Amino acid sequence: MGHISIQELRKEFGDIVAVDDVSFEIEEGSFTSIVGPSGSGKSTILRMIGGFESPTDGRVLIDGEDVTDEPPFERDVNMVFQDLALFPHMTVGENIAYGLRYDDRNFTKKEREEKIESMLEMVALSGYADRDPEDLSGGEQQRIAVARALVKEPDLLLFDEPLASLDRKLRQRMQTELQRIQAKTGITFLYVTHDQEIALSVSDTLLLLNEGEIEQIGTPETVYEEPETSFAADFVGDVN
Ligand code: ADP
Ligand code: MG
């Protein structure tokens, strides 16, 4: 069994089946991207894994432990949302410290400050702790949101289209940065995007979703070079 095991996961909203009995495994330390058209259930799957949405049916296991009924802060998981939502009334450092609010490691003030600084270093923004979020560029704010999610050192980091609001050039820079952070921390990344470029260039597993079901899962190379369904062929054919 994988590090993360998704078993027959299902979500209905009234008559809508958003996620239709989906099962897959994720290896520890891997970078998995979920792609698929708008409305295919990408965000709903991520939210169920993070504990922000209760499944209608099915289970989520992390390291063999069934966390399906655990609230988000009881899971060794964190999520970076599309609208990054830094708190404007807090400094950059306070925003990152907020990521430790459920942490039971009882850091001293000095340890906390060191931890925050090491997170800033991780996202290449050393010395930014006392800055105001609103004085930062969009890309810098996004990196702070990543630092805030990283600070509690989760086993799994979920990203829901975190770069969608950035321009193309910045997006490419951030992709490289995220890949570097993932390699350095060894945290498992599950990354929802409709940017096929990132899915192809940085992930080691690609999961293609269509109408709440898995259309294909494999290495990006396999999915792109050997699409198994006409939907997959059409979808990957849209690249470039
Ligand atoms: P994606 O992230 O791939 O665009 P979503 O997971 O957001 O897809 O949505 C999947 C389906 O579930 C869509 O049909 C969407 O309208 C529906 N849906 C998502 N969230 C809700 C909700 N809170 N209430 C009702 N329907 C929802
Ligand atoms: Mg979505």
Query: Is 38's C-beta closer than 6 angstroms to any atom of ligand 1?
Result: yes
pLDDT of residue 26: 96
pLDDT of residue 237: 84
Nearest ligand to the CA atom of 36: 1
Query: Is 115's C-beta closer than 6 angstroms to any atom of ligand 1?
Result: no
Query: Is 54's C-beta closer than 6 angstroms to any atom of ligand 1?
Result: no
In this predicted model, what pLDDT tens digit does every residue of 77-110 receive, in sequence order? 999 887 767 999 999 999 999 988 877 788 899 9
Mutation probe of ligand 1 site: the residue of 9, 12, 44 with most atoms within 8 A of C-beta = 44
Rounded distance from Cα 185 to ligand 2 centre (Å):
26
Rounded distance from Cα 178 to ligand 2 centre (Å):
20
Query: Is 39's C-beta closer than 6 angstroms to any atom of ligand 1?
Result: yes
Q: Binning pLDDT at 50, 70 and 90, where does residue 6 land?
A: very high
Rounded distance from Cα 160 to ligand 1 centre (Å):
13
Query: Is 13's C-beta closer than 6 angstroms to any atom of ligand 1?
Result: yes
Q: Is-contact 81 148, C-beta < 8 A?
A: no
Mean pLDDT (the chain, rounded): 91
- Interface ipTM: 0.99
Amino acid at 18: A
Which protein residue's CA is at the shortest distance from atom 10 of ligand 1?
41
pLDDT at 1 over 90: no
